Structure 1
Amino acid sequence: MTEGKWQRSSFSPDGGNNCVEVAATAHGVALRESDSPSEAITVTPGALRELIRGVRARELAPPRA
């Protein structure tokens, strides 16, 4: 995967490994967990925008136990 520079949220604690990181790629936006950097998924900018919109609008419920 051709990837740009990985970035973490400014809300992530320094040195913490429980963050989502993002990077621009030739195919869209790559997402990965900071504690598992060898695994990433790539989504379109539109799909990421809709995910963020849904989270902000509280349309996505957490999984039930």
Structure 2
Amino acid sequence: MSTQTPWIKAQASGGGGQCVEIRRNGHDVEVRDTKAHGNGPTLRFAPVEFSAWIDAAKGGRLDGLSSH
């Protein structure tokens, strides 16, 4: 039985190609660039790592990394 879920992206993402897609694949959370249409690299995170990243983003601790 596969534990792979479909790729999803944020409903708030526009058509400008500036988004990523995520899915669950087994025990990992995978992230990829939507513009690559499945041909680019895929980052893999343990669930605890992905949760920590989301918490940091929501808390503004990654804001200094943005170019704008």
Scaled to the shorter chain, the TM-score interval is 0.7 to 0.9
Structure 2 stretches lacking a partner, 5+ long:
none
| Aligned equivalent of 2:43 | 41
Structure 1 stretches lacking a partner, 5+ long:
none
SS of residue in 2 equivalent to 1:6: coil
Distance 1:30 1:3 in 2: 10
Call closer, same or farther: CA 1:40–1:3 in 2, change over 3 Å.
farther
| Aligned equivalent of 1:19 | 19
The Cα offsets for residues 5-25 of structure 1, whole Å up to 9 and x where unpaired, read as 100101112x44221100110
RMSD (CA atoms): 2.1
The 8 Å contact of residues 32 and 41 in structure 1, kept in 2 or not, is answered as: yes
One-letter amino acid of the counterpart of residue 25, structure 2: T
1:53 aligns with 2:55: yes
| Aligned equivalent of 1:62 | 65
TM-score between both structures, scaled by the size of structure 2: 0.74
The alignment of Structure 1 onto Structure 2 pairs a total of residues equal to 62
The 8 Å contact of residues 27 and 47 in structure 2, kept in 1 or not, is answered as: no
Using the aligned pairs only, state the percent identity.
23
The structure whose residues are more often helix, as a share, is: 2
TM-score between both structures, scaled by the size of structure 1: 0.77
The structure whose residues are more often strand, as a share, is: 1
